[in-house]
Amino acid sequence: MKKNKFWILSLSFLLVFLVFLNPENSIAQKYDAGGGFGIATYSGDIIRGLDPNQIGLQGTLFGRRNFDNVWSLRGGLSFARLNAADSINPIDPVMAYRNAGFNGSLFEASVVMEYHFLDFTNRYAQFRFSPYGFLGLGFSGFVGKGRKFEDDPNPTGYNVGTPVIPFGIGIKYKLSDKWILAAEFGARATFTDALDKLYGEEPFIPRFPDPNNPNTLTGYNYGNYSDKDWYYFLGITLSYTFSSVKCYSY
């Protein structure tokens, strides 16, 4: 966990440095900062898709540097609660029998580039809104507690750290020259299969065979190491623009 904290702090310092770097021509740049909240969920060995019945809350703080009307660099720190359980919506009868589950807290630091499809920040722009997409890099640390199967003798706490690739889409609306409201959906591709405490190094659950049913399987698969875990954010944000010396134009 100490190593995870080191990477999170290092990336946090880097994103603050990149977003608020003050070059000689910074007077011509525009900066804003804000926060937001929403919901979060995950997909992996317990949830294969997006399940609205298994969601948690998420919040974020961010700073952003707008280079022009198209490109922006955003650095952010996010917190989310993730949870999932076979007992809520099992994938199949075997997974219902497995009865795995987990819950915990996730911390993320990330840097992303945003691309805006419409010019909406110019004071004389035709539109007050713009759809946008984003892509970047980040690191997340997860601290949770879970069980791998029913009657798991070791349902202890665990922690996982992983690089992530955040990407997604959203739409921004300019409330005024200083305030921007946005709605955003983002996915995070991770490099771990252990977010849900289920991973392929332990391919089956050992069971004592039933002497009355010798043909009954004594174990079943519960993790796919080649299938990495994902998590997702859906939320709204509000940001404040600090200064704007000039309006961008083409």
pLDDT tens digit sequence for 54-108? 999 999 999 999 998 899 999 999 999 999 988 888 777 777 777 888 999 999 9
CA distance 59 to 136: 18
| Chosen CATH of 2-8+38-242 out of 1.10.10.10, 3.40.50.300, 1.10.1040.10, 2.40.160.20 | 2.40.160.20
pLDDT value of residue 220: 52
Could you report the per-residue pLDDT of 208-232, keeping only the tens digit for each? 455 566 555 455 555 666 689 999 9
Give the residue with greater pLDDT, 5 vs 136: 136
- Residues above pLDDT 70, as percent of the chain: 73
Instruction: Provide the 10 A C-beta neighbour count for residue 25.
Output: 7
Q: List the one residue out of 95, 71, 78 whose CA is nearest residue 15.
A: 78
**At residue 248, does pLDDT exceed 70?**
no
SS3 content of the chain, % helix, strand, coil (to 5): 10, 50, 40
Task: Pull the structure tokens for residue 51.
Answer: 């399940």
